[in-house]
Structure 1
């Protein structure tokens, strides 16, 4: 028995080293992919970059694009990384901010799908669906407060600009300490661009963007899988230690667990069956969910380090917008008792309705994540 145990330990250790190596490779792939999206965007439109997203210049239309894209892909990390790449290619930060907000809303569909696993038991489903949708209502409330404020004052753009200012060289928009990323990513991006330059018209640029987006999706998916396999024990420990303590402890634990597993959908979906089976209460997991919102910002910050040149500062700025939005929304909404209760009460009401008729779930998903955003997007063209 002893010899078998001693043999198993090196094998597990070896497997972990392979996982860490693969994780490093996927991180590099993410950085290259973001650089490809930005480079392809600039290649396609040149100096007319600001006009390409003219249809999204309306903040509400931009918000809807973020919601639909994330609802379809079901990864806010992927969408925000793509947005970072687009900003690196010339998309104005002002236009991208509502997209970032929309990505927060769209990512919560997974929770609702997980709650359907409790559909056979009415009471279980009511609790599970309430847990699943509290994330939705928090994000909807956050956007309904912060988007009008942003339109009127541009405060998120100003705050992120202030945060990114120390990274700027005087008279230059390259970022201090992050220029080494160009050495790592530029050769592969340029060689890919050279191979695609034989294509006529803008097809080369379009192909580079598509390759970049595909690599972002693959790298983030693989990073999430690898992080979960490497960190699942620590994440579970944090998860168990977070429940039943103070709200601040719950928020911090939710943030750390999401950073470890690289997926807010995974973090929040873990809570749904626990609430459905009455192991936890919705109010207990509420702060943990808010921490997941903050933890998912790390991917965009990593993606922004891949950008070099004139637009590097703007790429980092939009990543910081994502972080500032989630932190400020948590402080404001959870910090004010009246606002704190709104997502909870809305989720409870919707949970009661869904328990009575499952058609309410289909109607909710279809309206909030597809029909209403698509309708508004068509009207604002």
Structure 2
């Protein structure tokens, strides 16, 4: 298989993954968009409440980027303050790890039925069946894409340039952080970046510490969406986007020296490489958010002084 064919197939599977995320999210939004805005505005007066709401909504919508775009929009509209938005950010980082845990489950025999059932329900004019169909069909697309990434990992790694990149990532973890940041900024999905890393991990082409480095970078790259949403908005909306960037950059900076420790910990928790990477994402985001939660007010002042 030639390099052009592999890259074309990789682009197709990536498109399937992103389409699956979009379809699944759109179905859930049909039911919960107004409710989501209500929860965000009513129950975020304290940072810990915002964190819980951020986890809940991001877990439901399966996209921290979508939640951050909604949050920036609500801040811009005056429904939320910049201070209230920080708790939601912390929760959205935790909620975003659910999809990476989900795609490690082996349900290969159920993928085709999920696609058929979901596709049929998409023709329903009623909100509940349509939402169910969108969720099932979108989830099926995610697993199709993951299987595709897996099948392309070894052929792709056969090319010298890719081998050099993998070797560089295995040897220099900071390079892995850069790859994760750049790839996520381009494709607008940290879950897809992590999914691609999992395929290399499962084929022993990428070390677990290198996969963790890419995952850390993906957390920075996912901030691009909220930043773009804040362009042209009021000052508080821009502060929200800047705070999202700083939270993730600081979290990654703190955890970067701890990659060997995190790698050893998740190796004890699971035997499968993709599950280990999913667990590392969960642990990183839970610890980062828990450590940041008591310092929300001084952190808000820091962002206001820096970008005011």
TM tier relative to shorter chain: 0.5 to 0.7
Name the residue aligned to 1:303.
Answer: 229
- Alignment partners' CA distance in 2, 1:75 and 1:284: 24
With over 3 angstroms needed to count, the CA separation of the structure-2 counterparts of 1:62 and 1:347, relative to structure 1, is: same
Which of the residues 244, 260, 266 maps onto 1:347?
A: 266
Separation in 1, partners of 2:196, 2:207: 13
Q: Give the aligned partner of residue 78 of structure 1.
A: 66
Quote the offset at 1:306 in angstroms.
4.6
Shift of 1:70: 1.0
**Aligned equivalents of 1:238 and 1:318: distance in 2?**
37
Give the superposition deviation at 1:110.
1.9
Any idea what SS the aligned residue of 1:279 has?
coil
- Whose relative contact order is higher, 1 or 2, with alpha carbons under 8 Å and at least 6 apart? 1
Residues 65 and 222, structure 2, Cα contact 8 Å, conserved in 1: yes
2:176 aligned partner: 250
Q: 1:76 to 1:108 in 2, by over 3 A?
A: same
CA displacement at 1:273 relative to structure 2: 2.7
Residue matched to 2:253? 331
Q: Would you say 1:56 and 2:44 are equivalent positions?
A: yes
> Counterparts of 2:107 and 2:163 in 1: how far apart (Å)?
22
State how many pairs are aligned. Answer: 204
Give per-residue Cα distances to partners, 1:227-273, cap 9 Å, x unaligned.
Answer: x9xxx9xxx87897253241111111111111111110100111123
Runs of 4+ in 1 over 6 A off after TM superposition: 236-240
Superposition TM-score, scaled by structure 2 size: 0.55
Pairwise CA distance, 1:344: 2.6
Match of 2:198 among 267, 272, 286: 272
1:288 aligns with 2:288: no
Residues 315 and 79 of structure 1: CA distance in aligned 2, closer, same or farther (over 3 Å): same
2:97 is matched with which residue: 99, 108, 123?
108
Q: Distance in 1 between matches of 2:178 and 2:196?
A: 16
TM-superposed CA distance for 1:330, in Å, is 1.1
CA contact (8 A) 2:170 2:207 kept: no
Larger Rg: 1
Task: Report Cα offsets for 1:152-180 as digits up to 9, x if no partner.
Answer: xxxxxxxxxxxxxxxxxxxxxxxxxxxxx
Q: State the partner residue of 1:94.
A: 83
SS of match in other structure, 2:270: helix
Secondary structure of 1:328's counterpart equals helix
- Contact 2:198–2:211 (Cα < 8 Å) also in 1: no
RMSD: 4.5
SS at match of 1:116: coil
Given the superposition, is the C-alpha separation of residues 342 and 98 from structure 1 closer, same or farther in structure 2, using an over 3 Å criterion?
farther
| Alpha-carbon spacing, 1:114–1:53, altered in 2? closer, same or farther (3 Å) | closer
Q: Which runs of 5+ in 2 are unaligned?
A: 1-7, 9-14, 16-32, 110-137, 139-144, 150-155, 287-308
CA contact (8 A) 2:76 2:237 kept: yes
Instruction: Provide the C-alpha distance between the structure 2 equivalents of 1:239 and 1:324, rounded to a whole number of angstroms.
Output: 33
Q: Which residue does the alignment assign to 2:240?
A: 318
How far has the Cα of 1:341 moved from its partner?
4.2
Give, in whole Å, the separation in 2 of the partners of 1:60 and 1:346. 27
CA distance in 1, matches of 2:171, 2:259: 18
